[in-house]
Amino acid sequence: METIERAADRVLEETGTRFLDDPQTIDILKQAGGVATGDVVRLDGAELRRIIRRHAPAKFLLRGRNPARDTLVGGAGPPIFAPIYGAPNVVLDSGERVAGSRQIYGELVAAAHAAPGLTNTGQMICVMEDVPEDRRPLEMLLAHLSRSDKPFMGSIASPAAAEAVIDLTAAAVGRPASAGACNLLHLINATPPLTYWPNPLKCLRAIALKGEASMVSSYMMMGATSPVTVAGALIQGYAEVLAGLALAQLWRPGAPAVMGILAYPFDMRRMLPDFGDPASQLVQLYAAGLGRRLGVPVRGDGAITSAKIDDAQSGAEGGRVLSAAVGSGASFILHASGWLEQGRTVSFAKLRRDAAALAEFGHGKPADLPPLPLERDIEMEIRSRLSRP
């Protein structure tokens, strides 16, 4: 872990990170000691860790419209599971494959709500292809609020959309963000290698200033947008998320944040990432360790797969990725159900089937082994077994 941190520190300090077209970000990083040359800022990794460790909460409450649905992100409880995020296509129960729509979106949220295994209804489960882009954030919000009372994720379509969804959700939940509690978690992606685009930077700022949560993620394709090795991907991804996580704390000390370092080998023949590859599981296990050292909750991926249908490949790839995420101690597991075809498709049947399996993962994270209940009663049961004739 220290080797990764030291190597990432050298990358951050000697190479720097590119923050595209967002002078406010560059200004605040300079105030924190960064050295800017154009849009590339060279940063002190050890200082970024100090900022994060000092301010970022180790756990926070992510609330639902129904307080009984509130979930704790981080800490010893079970991981939170949210459905696939961002699928343009949908496989209906009839088997028909169609483009996402407003109506289907509502049905997907209802399906996620009905599944006990999902404790978060996510965001952009499918793309509403029949709704103009600027209307989608509020249409999705309406679906999440009207078809479910579970917590869900915020919009990152634009800073204005993020803010509007935050304010309306706070009104619906009836409890604005406070220390250690918020209503929405937002997916803030770095753009590997070592780059943040303007919209995620502006959204990160708007979200942090509202006291809402960001899941700062680096999603790498090993051999394409990152080095091909586990070590190289970890070093690059850690450098990227360290910058983003520290930024959130610079904008608002104490802003809830989750760390995600995800990396999948890029298949040069198919020009697609290779989900289920064991290298990605090793990245997840290290990432969780790096997150624990930072003191922030960690993201994992769920049953993701390259398979086009829910077959042996889909099961094996998804089972391995999910199990690695749960085993790593990840606190928030995205794409936990419904994912097919490199994430290009959400399937109603798979969403329900994956979620049924997730319902069994009701125990705490293995990294924080759960307490053993009823110790003496269990011993009595074992004794009675031996003494049977």
Contacts of 382 (CB under 8 A, 6+ apart): none
Cβ distance to a second copy smaller for residue 181 or 303: 303
Could you tell me the smallest distance in angstroms from the CB atom of residue 268 to a second copy?
16
**What's the token pair of residue 358?**
């997730």
Tell me the pairing of strands 184-189 and 213-222: parallel
Could you tell me the smallest distance in angstroms from the CB atom of residue 231 to a second copy?
4
Could you tell me the smallest distance in angstroms from the CB atom of residue 70 to a second copy?
23
Query: DSSP state, 88?
Result: S
Are the beta carbons of 190 and 196 closer than 8 angstroms?
A: yes
Are the beta carbons of 196 and 243 closer than 8 angstroms?
A: yes
Could you tell me the smallest distance in angstroms from the CB atom of residue 9 to a second copy?
10
Query: DSSP state, 253?
Result: T
- Rounded CA-CA distance 276/130 in Å is 33
Cβ distance to a second copy smaller for residue 65 or 365: 365
**What's the token pair of residue 130?**
């029949």
Q: Which secondary structure element, helix H or strand E, spans residue 299, and what is its range?
A: strand 299-301
- Would you tell me how many other CB atoms lie within 10 Å of the CB of residue 124? 23
Cβ distance to a second copy smaller for residue 171 or 378: 378
Measured CA angle at 250 (ends 249, 251), to 5 deg = 90
Could you tell me the smallest distance in angstroms from the CB atom of residue 372 to a second copy?
4
Cβ distance to a second copy smaller for residue 7 or 109: 7
Indicate the residue type of 314. S
- Rounded CA-CA distance 245/52 in Å is 7
Could you tell me the smallest distance in angstroms from the CB atom of residue 328 to a second copy?
7
Cβ distance to a second copy smaller for residue 209 or 272: 272
- Rounded CA-CA distance 382/167 in Å is 55
What are residue 187's DSSP bridge partners? 215
Cβ distance to a second copy smaller for residue 101 or 313: 313
- How many residues are given for the chain? 389
Cβ distance to a second copy smaller for residue 158 or 229: 229
Could you tell me the smallest distance in angstroms from the CB atom of residue 200 to a second copy?
17
